[in-house]
Every structure is written in structure tokens, then in C-alpha cells.
Structure 1
Amino acid sequence: MAEAGDRVAGRYLLQEPIGRGGMGVVWRAHDELLDRQVAVKCARPDDDRAVLRLTNEARNAARLHHPHIVSVFDFVDESEVCWIVMEYVSGGSLADMVRSRGALSPEEAGSIGCQIAAALAKSHAEGVVHGDVTPENVLITEDGVAKLTDFGISRALWSEATMTRTGGVRGKPPYLPPEVARGEAADRKSDVFSLGATLYAVIEGRSPYGEASHPMAYVARAIEGYIETPHRAGPLVDTLTALLNVEPKRRPAAQQAVRLLRRVAPASPHIEDLDSAEDPRDGETLDRTPFTMRLVKPLVRGSWRRPRRRVVIAAAAVGTVAVLVAWAALFGPWSGGRSDESRGSGKDGGRGGSGVTDSVSPHGPAGTVGDARTADPCKLLNPASLSRFGETVLDPDYGEIDRCDVLLHGKSGDDIADVQLNFSSEPPEPGGDVPTRRVGNVTVGAFQREGDECLRNIASADRKQIWIITERLDTPAPDPCQLGDAATDYAVSVLDRGQVPRRSGQPAASSLLRGHACRVLDGDEIKRASGVQVEDHEAGFGDWQCEWTNGSGDAGVKLVFNRDNQFTSEGGQRAVIAGNRSVVSPNEWDDDSCLVRMLHRSYRNSLGDDTVEMVSLNVYGPKPTETLCHSAKALAATAAKKLPTS
């Protein structure tokens, strides 16, 4: 065991240990031959893996001569112990800086990141992947110069390691690139991700995977590609988004990262002379220029608000949630599984009368919604990606048919928060003041929080919209915008890989999922029952809702196919319309209106919950409420004759 006062190779006088790790000890030492301070790292003599790692570090780092890479001066093999002699950096690590001073500003982090990106560009140009870029491995001199150190798990791109895979995951979990977590070999773009994770951590105070109590939680989030949206990064947000892209090919190269970070970093002699030569083997930078878009908040479709309820099925762990999600995918509301929601044989082929088909490719263009009637909103939500906020469960059959929810449960079992995802066929419009960012082929818009609700919008490549509405239902509960950002990030990661995944199987013959709202009423029927002269009608997403209006827009009829956990008469008057249980609610959706909710069918959904489908029909206009309700009941009776039947 080495002690202060020992000499290495007869010239390096050990003075004091300045760092310890699983692989050995780092000493501050004095080079008596050249009269200078050096850092000397030794591998534990009984650890063959540590010796191999130290040797590997010496070989790869020694070929890298760069002002932002810690220089290697010498390698000493004294039979029982190996030593690597390096440049001594007196200022400590980036992690030490954050611990002592707190989080860094985006500008300061940008300056440091710019220097380390230049170091990586040099390393990559020489064919060496670092593999472990973390705040601990970035050293800061007393003059503020950043230097990359610890090439212990680095590898040469031409070495045998490029052709084989190890059985373990290399790197520190909070900074682990998704592809490495999935077992792929680290490459240049993996270093870029870890640099982004490092900068994210020193600005936000946590990993881009959030906070976790166990390292494997970080690995799990890395595997699923879950990245939290930064909130303190300011001018560095778009650059971090690019560096942390879950798809390696979409990340900038290290030299391109230098240019992105230089835009944010304040003028400094440390970054003025960085080499601008670009490695021709590196890829292109993804354009993430922020802009604004006119995004109109979705109207509350009636008073369709989720009531608080005690859970029936609770997912106690991420693994259980994953099983539920997989089960929902296999035996969901469109499958032929063994639930009350068993589906037809699909012998009608193609679209038939249902407008449902299995022929739509699940691998359509990235960032597109595709065919409205087969796009599955539940495939854009993942309860496991929200598990850090609490216990989660997927609710695939609530509200509108183009909707899916994830519920968060409190300790009592009550719902404390709801994440709702809806599709919209209304195209987004340019302009407006909602801040947006471009991610791959989609545009993400973020509204300011309003009370307990937060809205996020994804404008798809085929000019449709995806709304993510998060709401706090009880306290204590997570911040709805943080919850919404996490849900949005997952949805974007799915869209980055392709089109919105398709619903599986066929709906039951009598399901409203087979229906077309705009076909159950026509203009003549509406005029006879309500006196409204229909001048226009607008189909909602998937034609599961429709609105007919007069020329001035002050009178009309709106019909929506809905689902709920149960059919109740709360807030209305019971009625029987065309043999169906119904509820009549004057002025429910708005003043001068009357809403009829008519039960269509009951079934058990894919999670085993009792579920109902219903038709909600609202008549509005400048008429007495009694007249409006009479018209609504008459139109509901007409519509009932044209609904899907078994």
C-alpha cells in the first residue's frame, strides 16, 4: 500500500491522496526530475480489471494532445502496481464546483460545455470514444479552464471492442446514453449525449432522467428514452434538447456541439481559439430553431371532467404497470381477447362500414398521426415513464374515443392527478405567442400553467394536433406542468421513431368506435326537430363527433360519442329515449342549451373495469330551454336508429 513520501519510478514523490475510487487512488505528487506538480493514479494491485483499465487509459489518452484534455506524461509498471502520471489540475472537478457553489448558469455551463465538446471532437478525430463523460470527469483549473479526464473506459474505434459487446452496462447511470443502456457499444454520439446530460445536471441539479433512489431506475429510464424537459436552462434549452436526443443519429457531432454551445457561452479566451476543424465522419446537426405558433386551447368538450374516484386496479410497481400496458395492447378495446369487449372477426375486410382496418402500416412517416380512426392515443402514453411521480395506471376507455388517460394515485388510493391525451384534426396555424420547439418532424408547444391544469401541444407532420392535458385532482400532487412535460417527452420519443402506432384488432360490432357521428343526423332531420337551418357541419377527429351550425353560428347541434366508468343521472333528469336510458340536462354545456346523454351499451374494458359507451347530444340557440330540450330528445331518438348494432 502506497504512502505519502514514497517515490514512484525514483522521481515522483507522493504527497497526498486527492481522489479515491473503485479502481484505485489518485495522488498529488512532485516530479523531482522536472520540478513540477503531477497527478499520479495507481491501480489496486489485486484488481486485474483496474490494471487493464489504467493501461487502456494511458494508451488512449497519451495520443490526445489538446488544451482541454488532461495530459498523460508517463506510465510506470512496477510489477506489483501500475501507475499513470498525468497533468495536475488544482481547481477540482465540475461536480465539486456545483457542490460548493450550487447550480451553474446556462452561460457558465455553456462555456464549460464548449471546451469539453472541443476535447471530444479531438478525441473522436483520433478515433477514441471517452465513454464516461460526467461532472466528476471534468476538471476546472483555477483560471476557469475545463479539462476532460479519466479515459479509463475509453476505447479505440478500430479496436476489437468495436466488434464485440460486453455483458455489462458501462458508464454512470445518471448520464448513460439510451443506446448504451440497451446494450449497444458506445460511439461518438454516445459521448455527445453524456456531455448533454452533464450540462443538464449542473444547471438543473439532477439527471435528465430525473431523480431516482436506485441506479437501475436511471438505467430503466434510459432504456425507455425518458428525458425530462429542462426548466432552468434558458438560452441553452435547444442545444440541450439536441445533445440529449434519444436517437444517436439525430444528435450533433462533437464539433457541431462546440458551435451550438459557443452561441450561448460568454466571450472568453478559453473558447476563442478552439479548433474549428470538423471530423468528416460525424453527422449533421438537427435544426431545433425555436419559433411560435398560433395554438388555440381545446375547448372543454362539454363539461366532460373526470370525477375523483377510488381506484379499482392499482399498479404497485413499474413492472406491474408494464404488464398492464402490454396486456392492454394485446387484449385492448380493439382486440379479439377474452373480455366482454370481445371483437368481431374482421371478416368485413378493409374499412367496411366501420372505417376500421388493420392494413394501415404502423411504420408510417415519423411524426405523423396517420389514419384518424386507427391511430391509438394510448400508444403515446406510458405509465412507466410517469412512475417517478407516484403509482400510475392506464385508463384507455374514458371520455372521447380519441382520448387516453394515465391516472396517478395517492396513498389513500384516490386519483390525485390525471394525464389526458387527445387527438385533434384541426391543423395548427403559424404565428401567435405560444413558445414552441421543433423536435424531429413535430413541433411542441407549451402553454403557461393555469391553476391546477397545464396544457402541452404536439403539432404533427401531417398537420394534426395532439393535446396533452394534465390536471391536479387532489393534494399533495405533482406539478401538472412537470407531469405534462414528462408525458409529452415520451409521446415525442414515440413520434420520433415513426407514425402513431395503430389500434389492434377490430372493435365489437355494436361499439361506437365503428360509428360515424356525422352520418347519424342530416340537415333535414335537424331542421325538422330543432328549426336550425344547417349551413355547415364539421367532423371531429375520426368522425366520432360532429357539429352542425346555422349561417351565423349562434344555433346548432353537437353530437359526441363518449365513454365513462358508469352511466349516472347526476345533474340531470332521467328519461327513456328510443328504449335507451338517458339523462336530460338543461344548460349543461353552456347557456341556452340542452344536453341529452343516451346510454348505448355496457361492457368490461381491457383492464376489467365496467365501462359504458354513450351518445352526448347538445342543442343550442336563442330559444327557451324547454324547446331546446324537446329538440334534443327528438334528435337523440333519430340518432339512436343509426348507431352501430350487433
Structure 2
Amino acid sequence: MLSTPEDGDKIVGRYVLREAIGRGGMGVVWRAWDERLRREVAVKCARLDDPRATQRLIAEARNAGRLHHPNIVGVFDFVDQGADCWIVMEYVPSRSLAQLMDDRGPLSPEEAGSIGCQIADALAKSHGEGVVHGDVTPENILVTEDGLARLTDFGISRALWSDATQSVTGGVRGKPRYLAPEVAKGKPAGEKSDVFSLGASLFAAVEGQSPYGEAEHPMAYLARAIEGHREPARRAGPLAEPLAALLAAEPRQRPDAARARRLLGHAAAPPPHVQEQLADRRTVGLPSLTLRLPRAVRRRRRPLALAALALVTAGAVTAGLLLFGPWGSEDGGEGGPTGTAAPATGRPGALGEPRTADPCRLLAAASLSRFGDAALDPDYGEIDRCDVLLRNGSGDEVADVEVNFDADLDTYEGEVSTREVGGLRVTSLPRDGDLCERALATTDHRQIRVRGKRLGSPSPDPCQLADAATDHVLGLLDDGPVPRRTAAPAPDSLARVDACTLLGDDTLTRVPGVDPKSLKNPKNPKNRDPGFGAWSCDWFGDEGPGEVELQFSRDNALEDDGKAVDIGGARGYLAPEEAGEDSCTARLAHRTYRNSAGDRTVELLQLTVYGSGSTKRLCETATSLTAEAARAVADQLPGE
């Protein structure tokens, strides 16, 4: 514990205090330097003698930390040092709305409307996450020189209110000038009281006084609030009607935050340069920084046939991608004079050409760094997949955030939450143990999956991870399509192969228990379903359990992936029933290379057979089909 914090002091060996930038009854705010992530942060020092207040503050900081929005100041960390508690936040060079009012006097309706529209958007986000701010005041609204507004101190001020403050206002918590009538009457703050407080803050910004007028004692404001008193607006201009709606005495008569944003936006929308900044913040997120730590033991892959709520898929991507895909050139080179993929084109929210869509450019390790030491893992699992791994202080992997693509849109039944964001449909699936998943339907009718997964304990909440990554993806797709890969795959990579070309049309007839008569036509390609980018293929029958799944995948090693066996003269691995009963999975390495992060990576064929009969026969079939697929790859790729 630091008795009197000073410039140069270091908090938990990481945050170096540089200068005090704010003081108040609830603590001191410092500009500091985070030595681990090498960025400026703001840290608020609060001194609490009551352990219950500390727990309250921790809970509020946790709520604030799960919110990700360009108009919300992010909370990165919480440090408990006994009587001193430190909240580590995003550093925003700015002045509060209260300071602007003190320095310049009343604001124009246009400037106040721009600020209000942005803060209403922040409240819409927080309320959608079940978080009530509880202290929306000019002191907690920050405004940059360019007019970008940020809401700070989500619930933190409420947790820090002192007994002295409560005694002045008769036990009512909050700043009396901006309190909603129901809160003044002793009811808990809620979403509609946040909306009222925003309206009161904007009223003060344009009128120069509280909507309750001016008084010498806080209790006078409370009395006026309880009475439903409100001063008339004289300078509000186009904001007069929106403010009247936000300041309605009865909560049920007020708009919610999303409606308040629309009302304010119609009256005085943020100017174009502010809207451009907001778009940039959605795209960039936190400052780009990826930490690399020594790799710990790799987590186990999920089975190819993942049990989920998806029931039906609609349609499939057109089959028949040629060898070398969109990068192809007749000489087998890197696809064009530069060897790079085409830039992203197309409408916002579209996935675009499957083989050049880059899942790694939808993830930003820095945007997840508040959950732990974050590092991008570019080559693991399916070719259309990318991960960010989160590690604890010992370097152990404790969580994984995954983005991957689907050729098909899933439909769901049961309890799922769906919302529309910028033309994309976002489906939030219920948490399933250590896994939490979000599915985004793109504007060109494909699907992006975002998964958060616990790998160890203690670990961040997987749904918070999934939501944070989903927000980043939505911010990117609000302005354009999925970014493109910046380089073509290696000439000998499986990424250049169409999986459906590797096995014959009679594949299913070799699966134990499959009756050829049950197939409409074994040579009909409708019995084959190419996956995303044709990097997987599924052969299936019209009836019965017979099915073959072939997938191109990546791992860091195969030694722990089943029993070692000979597959076509090479060392492979068999995993009976890994994908469920009546199944056998075979894996065979295709090539080994160093990925962009310098990690040893194995590119492999993974084939699973489903059918009836003994496990032994299923594994024999998986072995022979995998060997056949490997020979077909050797015939197609140069240098094989």
C-alpha cells in the first residue's frame, strides 16, 4: 500500500504513476504508464476502510470492464492493496462536460446534441448488457478536442460514495442536480433513470443550470425532483422536444436509451468528422499490440462434428473451386505479380470470396488484453479459423477466443437471443459449460462464428470473451466487408486444394452398413457437400448413418491425437469414437512449417467415418480413405 502516492510510484510492479490529472472526494485520478502492455492508462486511487465497499467497487469495476463501445471508457484492471484500491482505465485526453461548461459557459444545441447522441448510444450498449450506469452527470462525460464523447465511471462512483455524501442528501445516492425523480424518492437507479440523468446533463449544458433550477442546498434539488418540477428550456432550440421526452417525470413515459439516441440524432446528429472517428474506433479498437509468450501445452481440438444447437443448414457454397483457388496462376506461383490476395471489396458486412477472407483480421489481441496476456494464434484448426489465446501470469493458457467461417447459415430452436446490428443478424447461443458462442449472419448469407472458451482456472467468463470479440467484428463489418488475406498460401499447402476432388463418387459405398440402394445415385455430386472454401467435404447418404467427413486442419503436433498407425506408408493416427459412437477419425500430416508467429505447425488431413458395424471396420475404412486422399493430394500439388 502506498501511504501517499507520488509521481514515479509503481503499482503492482506494472503501472508507473506519471501525474495526477484529477482530484475529488472519491479519489485521485493519475495518468500512468503500463509497462507490460506499453501504453498510457488512467488509474483512479480510492481509499476504502469498509471491506464491503471494496467488494462493491470490485463488482462495479467488473461490470464496467465487460463493456466495449467507442463511446465508453474501457476498464482494464482492478488492484486491491488493502485500504487502497486502484481502477485501471483507458486514458482519454479530454475535458469533462462539466469543465467545458465552466470554461465556456452554455454549449450550443448542436454541440450538446452531438454529445448526447453519443452518450445515449453508450447507454444503449450498457443497458443491453444489463449494466446501469447510475451516475450520468457532466463530470462523467468526457469530450475530446475533436468532439468525441466518452462515458466513464460505470457504477464506480456509486460504489465510492461516502457516508458524508449520503448524509447531506438524506441517504439518496447521486448528484442531486441530475437525479431522476424516482431515485430522489429512494428507488434504485435503473435504465430509465440513466436516460433522465443524461437529459438533465444536456439541459444543464445548453441552459446553464439544472432542470430543477438553482438552489443553495442539495436538499432543495431533491425536493424539486420529488415534486416533478422542471424549468422551461429557453436555449435548447432543436433539442427542446428530445429533452422534454428524456426528462419526463414518469419513467414509463421516457424513451429507452436507443430511442433517446434516435431522438437526439434527428435533432442534432454528430458532425461528419465525429462519425468518422467513431467508425475508426470501431475498426481499430484498442491500440494494436500483440504479446508473445512461451507456448504452453496446446489445448485439445474440438471434434469435427461439434454438438450444438444448429439443426438445419440452408444451402451450400458452390462446389468446384479449382486447384490454387483465387490465387492460382498457371505456373503455380503466388497468384499475380505481388503474390498477395486482392483487397477487400464489396458491401459492408459481406464475407466475400471464401478463400481470400481472413479470419485473423477480424480478431485483435489488444482488444482482449484486459482479460489477460493475449496473443494471436494464426494457424490452428481449420484453415478458415483464427484464435486469440489468453494466458495467466505464469504463461498458462486459460482461455481461447476463436473466429471461423461457415458456408451455410444455421437455424436454431430453443432459447436464443437474436439482434440486428448494421444489417447483420447476431445470434447469442446459451453458454454450454466452458463454451460460449455467437453466430453472425453476413449480408451475403454466410456465417461467422465467434467462440469464447475456458481452458483453465481461473479464467475469464467465456461469454464476456465472445461478446468482446463479437463487438470488434461488428465494428469492422459496419464499415466494409471481411478483410482479405494479405498473402497467398504456400505452393504445397492444402489451402490450394478442393477437398471434394480427393475421393471418388463411390466413397459412401465403402462405409460399413451403407446400402448402395439407399443412395439416389452414388455418382450424383448432390451427395457431396463442400464446406467453406472447399477446405472440407462431407459425403452423405439419403438414409442411414453412413457419412464421411474430410477436413484440412492444422495442429502443433499429432503425437497425442490417437493411436499411431501406418496410413499409406506414412505415420498417421487413429482415434476411434472421438467424434461419437459408431465413428472413427484418422489424421495424417501433410507438411510441417513455421507459421507467421514462428510456431511449428503441422498441416494435416483429418477424416472421420460414421457408420454401423464394428469400430475396427470403421477404422479400417478411415485408414484406406485417408491414404487415398493423400495420394490424390500428391497428384495435384506441385513438388509432391
Q: Of the candidates 265, 273, 277, which is equivalent to residue 251 of structure 2?
A: 265
Secondary structure of the structure 2 residue equivalent to 1:471 = strand
Distance 1:474 1:429, change over 3 A: closer
CA contact (8 A) 1:366 1:499 kept: yes
* Whole-angstrom distance in 1 between the partners of 2:625 and 2:249: 62
CA displacement, residues 170-229 of structure 1 (integer Å, 9 cap, x when unaligned): xxxxxxxxxxxxxxxxxx9xxxxxxxxxxxxxxxxxxxxxxxxxxxxxxxxxxxxxxxxx
CA contact (8 A) 1:532 1:549 kept: no
Mark the runs of 5 or more structure 1 residues left unpaired by the alignment.
1-17, 23-51, 71-89, 127-138, 150-155, 158-187, 189-252, 285-317, 326-342
Alignment-derived partner of residue 540 in structure 2: 549
* Whole-angstrom distance in 2 between the partners of 1:261 and 1:641: 73
Alignment-derived partner of residue 573 in structure 2: 583
State how 1:410-559 maps to structure 2 within 5 Å: 410-429=392-411, 433-527=415-509, 533=516, 534=522, 536-559=527-550
Q: Of the candidates 367, 380, 384, which is equivalent to residue 385 of structure 1?
A: 367
Structure number, greater radius of gyration? 1
Q: Of the candidates 289, 295, 320, which is equivalent to residue 321 of structure 1?
A: 289
Secondary structure of the structure 1 residue equivalent to 2:463 = helix
CA contact (8 A) 2:356 2:484 kept: yes
CA contact (8 A) 2:540 2:548 kept: yes
Q: Of the candidates 373, 389, 405, which is equivalent to residue 387 of structure 2?
A: 405
Secondary structure of the structure 2 residue equivalent to 1:399 = coil
State how 1:55-66 maps to structure 2 within 5 Å: 56-58=103-105, 60=107
Q: Of the candidates 600, 613, 617, which is equivalent to residue 607 of structure 2?
A: 617
State how 1:75-90 maps to structure 2 within 5 Å: none
* Whole-angstrom distance in 2 between the partners of 1:549 and 1:373: 24
Distance 1:279 1:364, change over 3 A: closer
Alignment TM-score, normalising by the size of structure 2: 0.54
Letter in 2 for 1:117: G
Letter in 2 for 1:116: L
Distance 1:267 1:623, change over 3 A: same
Question: Are 2:616 and 1:626 equivalent residues in the alignment?
Answer: yes
CA contact (8 A) 2:389 2:399 kept: yes
Question: Are 2:221 and 1:144 equivalent residues in the alignment?
Answer: no
CA deviation after TM superposition for structure 1 residue 116, in Å: 3.3
Secondary structure of the structure 2 residue equivalent to 1:458 = strand
Distance 1:257 1:525, change over 3 A: farther
CA displacement, residues 385-415 of structure 1 (integer Å, 9 cap, x when unaligned): 1111110111011111111111111122110
CA displacement, residues 515-571 of structure 1 (integer Å, 9 cap, x when unaligned): 111111121355357666446121111111111011214102110101001121543
* Whole-angstrom distance in 2 between the partners of 1:21 and 1:348: 64
Distance 1:513 1:64, change over 3 A: closer
CA deviation after TM superposition for structure 1 residue 594, in Å: 1.8
Among all aligned residue pairs of Structure 1 and Structure 2, give the percentage whose two residues are the same amino acid. Answer: 36
Alignment-derived partner of residue 28 in structure 1: none
CA contact (8 A) 1:107 1:266 kept: no
Alignment-derived partner of residue 199 in structure 2: 117
CA contact (8 A) 1:117 1:254 kept: no
* Whole-angstrom distance in 2 between the partners of 1:601 and 1:370: 28
Alignment-derived partner of residue 567 in structure 1: 558
CA contact (8 A) 1:321 1:392 kept: no
CA contact (8 A) 1:399 1:563 kept: yes
Distance 1:421 1:528, change over 3 A: same
Alignment-derived partner of residue 639 in structure 1: 629
Alignment TM-score, normalising by the size of structure 1: 0.53
* Whole-angstrom distance in 2 between the partners of 1:425 and 1:502: 16
Distance 1:436 1:641, change over 3 A: same
* Whole-angstrom distance in 2 between the partners of 1:515 and 1:495: 28
Distance 1:413 1:440, change over 3 A: same
CA deviation after TM superposition for structure 1 residue 255, in Å: 6.3
What is the aligned length?
410
CA contact (8 A) 2:556 2:600 kept: yes
CA deviation after TM superposition for structure 1 residue 262, in Å: 7.3
* Whole-angstrom distance in 2 between the partners of 1:492 and 1:593: 38
Letter in 2 for 1:571: G
Letter in 2 for 1:348: S
* Whole-angstrom distance in 2 between the partners of 1:64 and 1:576: 70
Q: Of the candidates 596, 609, 616, which is equivalent to residue 606 of structure 1?
A: 596
CA displacement, residues 565-610 of structure 1 (integer Å, 9 cap, x when unaligned): 1121543232242x43211222222222221111100000000000
State how 1:129-168 maps to structure 2 within 5 Å: 141-144=222-225
Distance 1:373 1:572, change over 3 A: same
* Whole-angstrom distance in 2 between the partners of 1:63 and 1:442: 31
CA contact (8 A) 2:565 2:574 kept: yes
Q: RMSD of the TM alignment (CA)?
A: 5.2
